[in-house]
Structure 1
């Protein structure tokens, strides 16, 4: 029995990045042998065990054979005769197919170290095409490693394009698409996720609402980048800068401008009413991917209200209060922070405007604080009851918001 550190732990060590998870592969052992050593079984589809002391994952070396469409269509074979190279060969990318023995020596049969040095995301074997999730994973790794200079190998992109043409991505279940997308939105450069999916043809299949934004023009005085798809990429990357690792902000940024794809051609490059027009395609996307309720709800608020955030200083106090109430920000200020981060990303995610200020955020935070400071107690003490209390609170909150600008609102 021999054990090796594999996958992301080896890759990230070589990249001198923090290592969070330590996964191991065990060669030359049976499940009964691991059980006898105190390992705890956790795998359902194949033998995976937790170390009795470290609780790290140890998987028996295994091979996979394609038996049907999609990523569920595999037969897994694990026994002591499976070699380390056979186990590594079933992995997706060469940079993830490097093993390290207990003495620190590397086992690299597929050139992963070379590809790390050359900053290339390359498939391990032609079997890559058998699992459509791998296409999403490549796009997600691009979002993670693009800041380090990584790009997808041409031959790997060609394989991914073949997968799309063959209809493999049609078999992806919504939960897995959402899982990979959500993780990509928390990476440093989520625009690379879109770029890889688009280049492979998968964006049009999985996210037609996003694919439709490319090539749609905007007014150059507001959007020097002009193309709405390019704007979306800039907004995603700005969101990752403003709120690193926050995939909720990322999803709000991803879906804030869907209505621009629906603007009639004779109106372009203006997009009057795009914020309301984007609500229905957003709802369709969320329903199709089974997006969690909080993500869908906040994304819809950003879609509806991002222009109001931009013109916050021009809004009546009553409109500001309505916005805060719609966000449930008086009770849950963290929702306002997500909203403001996404809106700031939209404002700064434009060519040449990356370093612009967004004072609207501070104003809306102050408005929330002023409104939230007004409770029902004072009005009940005055003898008001029922709806009269709510009406008095609303009036006082609007006055407090208006006072922030020194006007009546």
Structure 2
């Protein structure tokens, strides 16, 4: 029985990155032997155990066989005769298919060290094409390792293999929850635009997020396309350490199909909202991400004009955003708008004005006003709105 550290922990240590979690592979052992040593079983599909003291994961060396489409269609096999090399060859990328023994020696049967040196993502074997989640994982890794001198490229043969997988419909078998899990993690990496570039290079973006993919075909100013501008905005949210909700909202803020001038502002606004909502529903994203994305799609242009808006329009904006019941979400949408127009919260004047307007409007005592209209309740909203407008004008907000 021998134990090895494997996968990301070995890769990150060699890159000089902090190692957050350590995964272990055990060769030459049976489930009964692991239980006898106090390990706790946790795996459902194949034997995985938690160390009785450290609670690190220890998996028995295994092989796997594809039995159905999608990422769940596998049968796993473990026994004491499965070698370390057999276990590593089923992994996705060569840089994730290295192991380290108890003496610190690196076991690298598939060229991971060289690919790590050359900053290349390369699949280990044709087993890569059996799991479509690996396309998303590779794209996410591209977003993570995207700061010089660690900006990785994808090997040409790996891109070709991913294109074959997409053409075969493997990506179509992914469930929304799994897609969102990987996309959301990629959005939180240092350069999320790289994830979308990799997905587009193999055709997966067109299948998973066609609304984003088509932005590369819509021209914009200065000989660029709308996708280039969108990706720059998205990367800026990462640079400014914005939360997931803001990054997602910025990504979806304007995915209209074209720039047809004949459409009214209201029609374009509805289209932006509909696209943001449709993507969110399709991927089953959390409500807080969906709500902020739809709100930013609807309001970002109004927010950007807030400096010149009269008090009546400011109060209407606060009302549309349900700012009195959910003030933090309103402040979040202001921060997201700042990412679109100013790249920094501190210098975005509309955010300052609207934040102050909310504070002033919140001081209006709606309950007291309502008490004055007991016999005419239909007048209560009108009176409260008028009081809030008067408060803004009196405060010169």
Instruction: Tell me the residue number matched to 2:162.
Output: 160
- The alpha-carbon deviation at position 321 of structure 1 amounts to 2.7
Is the CA contact 2:307–2:349 (under 8 Å) kept in the aligned structure 1?
Answer: no
Structure 1 residue 368 corresponds to structure 2 residue 358: yes
Unmatched runs of 5 consecutive residues or more in structure 1? none
- The alpha-carbon deviation at position 34 of structure 1 amounts to 1.2
Structure 1 residue 308 corresponds to structure 2 residue 302: yes
Instruction: State the number of aligned residues.
Output: 393
Change (3 A) 1:13 1:337: farther
Identify which of 239, 247, 256 aligns with 1:250: 247
What's the RMSD between the two structures over aligned residues? 2.5
Bigger drift between 316-325 and 186-195 goes to 316-325
Instruction: Tell me the residue number matched to 1:396.
Output: 387
Instruction: Tell me the residue number matched to 1:199.
Output: 201
Is the CA contact 1:283–1:296 (under 8 Å) kept in the aligned structure 2?
Answer: yes
- The alpha-carbon deviation at position 387 of structure 1 amounts to 5.9
The equivalences for 1:335-346 within 5 A come to 335-346=329-340
Deviations 1:369-397 (A, max 9, x none): 222233346547x8565566654443333
Instruction: Tell me the residue number matched to 1:18.
Output: 18
Instruction: Tell me the residue number matched to 2:173.
Output: 171
Deviations 1:129-163 (A, max 9, x none): 11111011111111111123112121111111111
Instruction: Tell me the residue number matched to 2:213.
Output: 211
* Matched position secondary structure for 1:65: strand
Is the CA contact 1:263–1:274 (under 8 Å) kept in the aligned structure 2?
Answer: no
Is the CA contact 2:27–2:60 (under 8 Å) kept in the aligned structure 1?
Answer: yes
Deviations 1:21-68 (A, max 9, x none): 221111111111111112111111111111111111111111111112
Is the CA contact 2:166–2:202 (under 8 Å) kept in the aligned structure 1?
Answer: yes
The equivalences for 1:18-57 within 5 A come to 18-57=18-57
Deviations 1:224-256 (A, max 9, x none): 464111111112111212334x22111111111
- The alpha-carbon deviation at position 126 of structure 1 amounts to 1.6
Change (3 A) 1:312 1:49: same
- The alpha-carbon deviation at position 303 of structure 1 amounts to 0.6
Change (3 A) 1:401 1:107: farther
Instruction: Tell me the residue number matched to 1:325.
Output: 319
Instruction: Tell me the residue number matched to 1:232.
Output: 230
CA distance in 1 between partners of 2:54 and 2:166 (Å) = 41
CA distance in 2 between partners of 1:273 and 1:226 (Å) = 25
Is the CA contact 1:252–1:295 (under 8 Å) kept in the aligned structure 2?
Answer: yes
- The alpha-carbon deviation at position 185 of structure 1 amounts to 1.0
Unmatched runs of 5 consecutive residues or more in structure 2? none
Is the CA contact 2:48–2:57 (under 8 Å) kept in the aligned structure 1?
Answer: yes
Change (3 A) 1:84 1:373: farther
The equivalences for 1:1-150 within 5 A come to 1-147=1-147, 148-150=150-152
Bigger drift between 324-333 and 125-134 goes to 324-333
Instruction: Tell me the residue number matched to 1:298.
Output: 292
- The alpha-carbon deviation at position 275 of structure 1 amounts to 2.9
Is the CA contact 1:121–1:151 (under 8 Å) kept in the aligned structure 2?
Answer: yes
Is the CA contact 1:225–1:231 (under 8 Å) kept in the aligned structure 2?
Answer: no
TM-score if structure 2 supplies the norm length?
Answer: 0.91
Deviations 1:316-339 (A, max 9, x none): 323323333333333433313431
Bigger drift between 277-286 and 65-74 goes to 277-286
